[in-house]
Structure 1
Amino acid sequence: MSEPSAAPRPVAAPIGRSTDTVPSPDRAAEFRAALVNSLRADGKITTPAVEAAFLTVARERFVPDDVPLEQAYAVDDAVVTKRDQRGVALSSVSAAYIQARMLEQADLRPGMTVLEVGSGGLNAALIAEIVGDQGRVVSVDIDPDVIDRAAKLLDASGYGSRVRVLVADAEHGVPGEGPFDAIIVTVGAWDIPPVWLELLADTGVLVLPLIMNGVTRTIGFRRAGGHLVSTSIEVAGFVPMQGAGRHEERVFLLTDPNGKQVKLRFDSAAPEDMSPLDGVLATDRTEVWSGVTIPHRTSFADLHLWFAWHLPGFCLLTVDDGTELADERGTWFPFGAVHGAGFAYLAIRPAPEGVGVEFGARAYGRDGQLAATTVVEQIQAWDHDGRHTEPVFGYWPAGSDENQIPADASVMNKARGIVTISWPPRA
């Protein structure tokens, strides 16, 4: 149930153009082979078991009938299957790259018992292929419509007897099931419910998209004593969890002189008083540049993660058409910070050498210079301490021995525990 990742990724090359709602089996098989080749080349598929599952399961049977093969078999495209009254995605078929990566993260084997949280049908079919006839797959979702659709599609695709689908709020467990060798969560989770740890076998793997101050990473966790430690990390975005596990953002609107708005979204630690930013978009804008550069077409998703953990007043932003920011799309990214009476956001400009871009910050408000400087200081800190290194995450359930948390770890409080991150020293 993922949404497309913000980081651009290669897309499986289409083989011709299909507009048929019922494509021929041969054409679909060609698309499956092309997708697998792309996922293998990109390092998302690394084992024969996941490769065989992707070559076997027909993705086109789990997307709406009007979705062409090119989209169904694209590497990076999620397909929305249900929206609310406002058009917000509630359920989707996950992008192929993140499905493959999560299956690899889960380290699945024949005969395993696996829980999927967040249903749709396709991912459960892939899991069923890997664990085989001696394995067991349970797929749950809080939405009866989603479960009804998944059950029908699994039956029609020959997996109805191999996957048990249930309407349940996984926050409260799965009655009569468990323990599980793997739990794969396909909705954005702000926290880890204690019941998931109760359901997870001692040697099991928990794979989930964990939301940390608005930035999501799909993390594979294993037990390490009384806490969890990450074994793998992937960049992805997901439809957020509903039900008891839902987490509401705080949203503030900044209005420009023309009545257009910039929306600031805070996952946690939102400023108590936003009144110092009244009228801020009518003030002169300032810029501060970091001297930190990056080549073109290079991912810097780890900078977003660094901001989420280290940038005071961190927020995500969206903008109305007609605002100054909207007119400058392509020169900034939707990551910002509030500092007193100033608001700053991540910006780029051509690097002096002409071989990439330089990071910096643009800012509005009386404290705009301070806000931009704060962003730039964290860009420089990331460049020195976090760039090109993969962090290690930990999760410490409530009641854990916090004295065991590494001294160099940064800490983020959740409702049921503590998330930690450690950035290994650069070699």
Structure 2
Amino acid sequence: MTTVRDSDVENADWLRASMVEALRDNAITSDAVAKAMAIVPRHVFVPEVHLAQAYEPNTAVPVKRDGDGMTLSSLSAPRLQAAMLEQAEVKPGMRVLEVGSMGYNAALLAELVGPAGHVTSVDIDGDIVERARAHLAAVGYDRVEVVHADAEYGVPSSAPYDRVIVTVASPDIPPAWLAQLAIKGRIVVPLQLKGVTRSIAFDRGGVGLVSRSYHPCRFVPMQGDGACKEQRLTIDTGVCLNIEDTEHSIDVNALRQALHSPPMESWPGAVFDLPDELDLFLLTNSPRMALLRASPERVDEGLVNVSARLGVPVLIGDDGSFAYRIERVQDGDVFESGVIAHGPSAEYAAAQYGQLLRRWAEHYRRRGAASIRYLPVPAVTSPERAPQQGGLLRRWHGSVAVFWPEIDGTPRR
């Protein structure tokens, strides 16, 4: 690759135009977002990296880490930022609250709302706030209001907001965000759902919020009073469970014994496709589902299938038996879902898991099949509002209800 000097403005312009063109394939769908991303000089907000890296469509740039090397703040990948802006549908003249301040996304929002609109960006980290202010001012976006505060409580002084756009992974939707949202407003939030995260565009609907769209994403976790309090159970060295939202006790010793018992393999005849949609379906269709993760070393040893390296839904039985999905290629180009199960009731666990795989393949194998609702406390979750079989996820400020309405006919992608 040819070395590019950061001082070369022509190269920055060319890289920025190339980035926008690359994102036109699926992330950017409107001229407004394309124009904003073609104007704002992204490299100014991450001067510590090479110019070409700043404009790489699929690359996030870590900016601050803790003592253990974990990322605390980062500039998200352009593809993800573009997709969320499209979800938000920001219009000229709107008032927008951004949760999480790196500066670049706030500048994009300032372009979208125009001089008649207003952008407020809030972050709990004073260093990040000062960095964002400096970079925004350097490129002429000093009209963006950058606030140093805990975003759990929003920024009431500039409310109401037509859009609340959250750029950190959040386990819940704080009451302040709802209170500061305009009547016809929209929240776009990377919501954590049983170990996976989905960027969800919510509009007001009834007593709470109703999803318009969602897609998989990754963000650094929320800090402050709204920080995620998820728990992880270590089953064995390098093998753990994310047990967020589980309402059942888990016998770690029984799971460990089952893990080291001979596995059984089952192929229920279900096609494997769209793994992010499949995983969301599995996690929200049984209260006994959790997320199983395994280190590369345990996968290489053969203790756990490779499907668990990035996390895979696991169905846990009362006696410590468990089952999780695998996949294989059939006839050269057709992928099939299968099941690996361990423990004294492995056959039963595999059968239950196989039924879920077939249900998804037959009725839900398409993008956006779920309807997601947020019901704040003290809204009463009545039977007609609550999904069955694990689709109601309790939070501190409310509940996330995930519904899977069936649509007959050929699955749509």
Question: What TM-score, normalized by structure 2, do the two folds share?
Answer: 0.90
Q: Which residues in structure 2 correspond to 1:19-418 (within 5 Å)?
A: 20=5, 22-42=6-26, 44-69=27-52, 71-160=53-142, 162-255=143-236, 260-269=237-246, 271-294=249-272, 299-324=274-299, 331-333=306-308, 334-335=311-312, 336-339=314-317, 340-351=319-330, 353-388=331-366, 390=368, 391-403=370-382, 405-406=384-385, 410-418=391-399
**How has the CA–CA distance of structure 1 residues 165 and 186 changed in structure 2, closer, same or farther, with 3 Å as cutoff?**
same
Partners of 2:98 and 2:43 lie apart in 1 by: 20
One-letter amino acid matched to 1:110? P
**How has the CA–CA distance of structure 1 residues 329 and 82 changed in structure 2, closer, same or farther, with 3 Å as cutoff?**
farther
Partners of 2:61 and 2:117 lie apart in 1 by: 28
Partners of 1:61 and 1:393 lie apart in 2 by: 37
Structure 1 residue 187: Cα displacement: 0.8
Structure 1 residue 139: Cα displacement: 0.5
Partners of 1:91 and 1:347 lie apart in 2 by: 34
Q: Deviations over 1:124-153 (max 9, x none)?
A: 010011111221111001111211221121
Which residue of the partner structure matches residue 17 of structure 1? 2
Q: Deviations over 1:205-233 (max 9, x none)?
A: 11111111122111111112322111122
Q: Name structure 2 gaps, 5 residues minimum.
A: 409-413
Partners of 1:317 and 1:199 lie apart in 2 by: 37
Partners of 1:17 and 1:299 lie apart in 2 by: 36
Higher mean displacement: 83-92 or 170-179: 170-179
Q: Deviations over 1:73-132 (max 9, x none)?
A: 222221111111122111111111121111121121111111000111110010011111
**Aligned structure 1 segments of 4 or more residues deviating by more than 6 angstroms:** none
Structure 1 residue 275: Cα displacement: 2.3
Secondary structure of 1:341 counterpart: coil
Partners of 2:282 and 2:47 lie apart in 1 by: 37
1:320/1:326 contact within 8 Å kept: no
Q: Deviations over 1:233-259 (max 9, x none)?
A: 22212111111111222212233xxxx
2:125/2:148 contact within 8 Å kept: yes
Partners of 2:109 and 2:301 lie apart in 1 by: 42
Partners of 1:167 and 1:393 lie apart in 2 by: 31
One-letter amino acid matched to 1:207? V
**How has the CA–CA distance of structure 1 residues 306 and 174 changed in structure 2, closer, same or farther, with 3 Å as cutoff?**
same
Secondary structure of 1:247 counterpart: coil
Structure 1 residue 304: Cα displacement: 0.9
Structure 1 residue 354: Cα displacement: 2.2
Structure 1 residue 401: Cα displacement: 4.9
Percent identical pairs in the alignment equals 38
**How has the CA–CA distance of structure 1 residues 401 and 331 changed in structure 2, closer, same or farther, with 3 Å as cutoff?**
closer
**How has the CA–CA distance of structure 1 residues 308 and 18 changed in structure 2, closer, same or farther, with 3 Å as cutoff?**
farther
Structure 1 residue 327: Cα displacement: 5.2
What's the RMSD between the two structures over aligned residues?
A: 2.3
Structure 1 residue 190: Cα displacement: 0.9
Structure 1 residue 381: Cα displacement: 1.8
Which residue of the partner structure matches residue 411 of structure 2? none
Secondary structure of 1:345 counterpart: strand
Count of equivalent residues = 400
Partners of 2:299 and 2:183 lie apart in 1 by: 53
Q: Deviations over 1:42-77 (max 9, x none)?
A: 2x21222111100001111112423441x3222222
Question: What TM-score, normalized by structure 1, do the two folds share?
Answer: 0.87
2:294/2:304 contact within 8 Å kept: no
Q: Name structure 1 gaps, 5 residues minimum.
A: 1-15
